[in-house]
Chains A and B, each alone.
Chain A
Amino acid sequence: MDLNFKGNKYTASALIAVALLVSLLTGKMFSGNKELDALAPAPGFEMRMLSDYFEGLKGDVMDTPVYVQNGDEDGGSVMVLGGTHPNEPSGYMSAVLILENAKTVQGRLFVLPFANISGFSNTLAQEASPNKIHFTLHDGSTRVFRYGSRDTDPTVMWPIPDIYVHKASGQELAGNESKNLNRAYPGDPNGTPTERLAYGIMELLRKENITLAFDLHEASPEYPVIEAIVAHEKSMELAAVTAMDLMAKGIEVRLEPSPKNLRGLSHREWGDYTDTLPILMETANPSQGRLRGRTDEDLVIRGKDKAYVKAAGLGRLFVPYDENGKPLEQRVARHVEAIKLFTDNLAMFEPERSVVIDGLPDYDEISSNGVAYYLSPNH
């Protein structure tokens, strides 16, 4: 069959019209990813913006909501940061679950569900990730959340350097890490969008004198720091007690010290530059791993992948992994249970700055009921 067609101005016009139509449709889809996911905060939460703490973010695409709930009794304060990496859904879904269920009795609770909000507007190139995850609620309605990228949106932060130099230490990393919020602390008020965001979070920690702060993450099952708590030396005793409590409940967890020479990360810089007790936590997410097969919403939510079962059999993983996979409800349950225990144990170390939060389900409840069970249909 002869496929050598002659072109003319009419075929050119038709092809350009098709290109414009495709641009319009895909542009509409991509633009939709910039819209904030609907949230239904529990009663008592007040919404602020990070720019209330750092003026330099006002009107900026990096500005992100901060939800604050005050208890009736005085106490300390806890901050929960989800969405540092928007392709790590147990982090931001744990923050959302806490936002929609918490009832602070003593002290104050700060929740930032979408820390690097610009990273939710796109997915990482060549990863074939889904851009949305769906939850069917008990009343039959659906809640939708974006699945984003590890980095700040490239249309927001461009160009990037070949080598990223962390300003506070001179540490050199690959240029792409300049878009990684968790390499940007303590930030720079006059720096890149990511550095200004990091500085805004530091300002929140300082101005609200946050007692205990969590940065929630996920990583692939072949990554060594996984199903782990990473603690600054200031928070190590509290983390050790909490790790023992988790293991007493049958939840295996690693306890890792924050390396002093690995700079820019929350567990290091929050502790060095503020009075807070910083904690970073990681769950195991096969949809981020290099060994995974088909990457879709099912893998993100159910966490089942036969290549990982094989890798576990060969002893190549740092966590147990079987046919049941690593479902999102189990990953969120780990984060929420750990936050509950950390907050309870805070009273032992900082009795004057205790925080009491009711209303949060425990590990077994989330694992058996699923995440959707705790999302509000009133959004």
Chain B
Amino acid sequence: MGFMTIIYRLILALVLFLTVRSCFREKDFWRQATAALVIIPLLLRLLLIK
């Protein structure tokens, strides 16, 4: 795995963490749902599946 890919995955992991945290902090259900939707591609890319 190249150096750039490691950096890329670290950034992804950070954004994923912030998205999950935002989901828990958000008081509006639909904004929580939006955060949950964003988690799917972030997770698949973090694991280099898609």
Interface residues of A (CB under 8 A from B): 3-9, 11-12, 15-16, 18-20, 22-23, 26-27, 30-31, 122, 155, 158-159
Check B47–A27 contact: CB distance below 8 A: yes
Check A19–B50 contact: CB distance below 8 A: no
Check A7–B28 contact: CB distance below 8 A: yes
In the complex, B14 has a CB within 8 A of chain A: no
Q: List 12 A-B contacts (CB under 8 A).
A: A6-B29, A7-B26, A7-B28, A7-B29, A7-B31, A12-B23, A16-B23, A19-B36, A23-B40, A27-B44, A155-B45, A158-B4
Check A158–B29 contact: CB distance below 8 A: no
For B33, B36, B45, B48, the residue with the greatest tally of chain A CB atoms inside 10 Å of its CB is B36
Which residue on chain A has the smallest CB distance to residue B38?
Answer: A19
In the complex, B17 has a CB within 8 A of chain A: no
Check B50–A122 contact: CB distance below 8 A: yes
CB-CB contacts below 8 Å: B33-47 with A: 33, 35-37, 39-40, 43-45, 47
- A190 nearest CB across to chain B (Å): 13
Check A16–B26 contact: CB distance below 8 A: no
A contact residues around B49 at 8 Å (CB): 27, 30-31, 155
A20 to B47, CA, bound (A): 13
- A192 nearest CB across to chain B (Å): 10
Q: Which residue of the partner chain, among B27, B36, B40, B48, contacts A6 with CB atoms under 8 Å?
A: B27
Q: How large is the interface on B (under 10, 10 to 19, 20 to 34, 35 or more residues)?
A: 20 to 34
- A220 nearest CB across to chain B (Å): 26
- A25 nearest CB across to chain B (Å): 10
Q: How many Cβ-Cβ contacts under 8 Å join chain A to chain B?
A: 67
B contact residues around A27 at 8 Å (CB): 43-44, 47, 49-50
- A157 nearest CB across to chain B (Å): 10
Which residue on chain A has the smallest CB distance to residue B33?
Answer: A15
Check B33–A159 contact: CB distance below 8 A: no
Q: What 0/1 pattern do residues 2 to 27 of B give for CB contact below 8 A with A?
A: 00110010000000000010011011
- B46 nearest CB across to chain A (Å): 10
- A13 nearest CB across to chain B (Å): 8
Which residue on chain A has the smallest CB distance to residue B21?
Answer: A12
Check B32–A12 contact: CB distance below 8 A: yes
Check B39–A7 contact: CB distance below 8 A: no
- A16 nearest CB across to chain B (Å): 6
Check B37–A19 contact: CB distance below 8 A: yes
For B5, B29, B50, the residue with the greatest tally of chain A CB atoms inside 10 Å of its CB is B50
A contact residues around B36 at 8 Å (CB): 12, 15-16, 18-19
A contact residues around B5 at 8 Å (CB): 158
A12 to B32, CA, bound (A): 6
Which residue on chain A has the smallest CB distance to residue B47?
Answer: A27
B contact residues around A15 at 8 Å (CB): 23, 32-33, 35-36
A31 to B5, CA, bound (A): 19
A155 to B49, CA, bound (A): 7
- B48 nearest CB across to chain A (Å): 4
A-B pairs, 7 with minimum CB distance? A5-B29, A15-B36, A7-B29, A19-B36, A19-B39, A7-B32, A155-B48
B contact residues around A122 at 8 Å (CB): 50
- A61 nearest CB across to chain B (Å): 10
| Given known A-B contacts A16-B20, A155-B50, A11 and B39 have beta carbons under 8 A apart | no
Check A12–B37 contact: CB distance below 8 A: no
Check B32–A22 contact: CB distance below 8 A: no
Check A3–B50 contact: CB distance below 8 A: no
For the complex with contacts A9-B24, A19-B37, 9 further pairs of A-B residues with Cβ separation under 8 Å are A6-B29, A7-B28, A15-B35, A15-B36, A18-B36, A19-B40, A23-B43, A27-B47, A158-B4
